[in-house]
């Protein structure tokens, strides 16, 4: 059974620009891993105009930063994952999580496996839904 990805962009707040949150199997993986006060990557970085998103999975493994705790990644570290495509599967593995004293999740998330068609469709949907630019 494959994991299911949903990409959401949160509107900007007082402290952060529009940020990306990643829901896997119905759970906000950023909030669970870096805690409620943390933030995901900025939408403008993850969905740059005129270029493919770094969420696009290729056969070449790529480490991607997905979030940081409220105290900042420079203090306690970032949430990182390696994204790679293997035929009809996109794999997220080799997690790095922030210092566990500030997080709700004491261990890294499990290795995740997405159906390539569902994954690509969700990334493409998020790349084209640029509502958040109105607030940037």
Per-residue 3-state assignment (H helix, E strand, C coil) for the chain: CCECEEEEEECCCCCCCCEEEEEECCEEHHHHHHCCCCECCEHHHHCCCCCCCCCCCCCCCEEEEEEECCCCHHHHCCEEEEEEEECCEEEEEEEECCCHHHCCCCCCCCCEEEEHHHHHHHHHHHHHCCHHHHHC
Per-residue pLDDT of the chain in tens (136 residues, 90 and over written 9):
899 999 999 988 777 789 999 999 999 988 888 777 778 899 999 999 889 999 999 999 999 999 887 666 556 767 899 999 999 999 999 998 877 554 454 578 899 999 999 999 999 999 999 888 765 5
Give pLDDT, residue 73: 52
Give pLDDT, residue 132: 81
Give pLDDT, residue 109: 87
């Amino acid at each position: 059974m494959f994991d299911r990805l949903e990409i959401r962009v949160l509107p900007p707040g007082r402290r952060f620009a529009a940020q990306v949150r990643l829901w896997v199997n119905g759970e906000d993986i950023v909030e669970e891993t870096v805690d409620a006060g943390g933030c995901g990557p900025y939408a403008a970085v993850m969905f740059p105009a005129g270029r493919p998103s770094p969420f696009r999975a290729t056969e070449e493994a790529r480490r991607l930063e997905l979030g940081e705790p409220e105290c900042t990644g420079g203090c306690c570290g970032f949430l990182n994952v390696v994204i790679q495509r293997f035929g009809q599967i996109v794999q997220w593995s080799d997690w790095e999580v922030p210092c566990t004293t500030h997080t709700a999740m004491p261990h890294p998330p499990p290795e995740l496996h997405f159906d390539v068609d569902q994954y690509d469709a969700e990334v493409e949907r998020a790349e084209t839904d640029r509502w958040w630019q109105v607030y940037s």
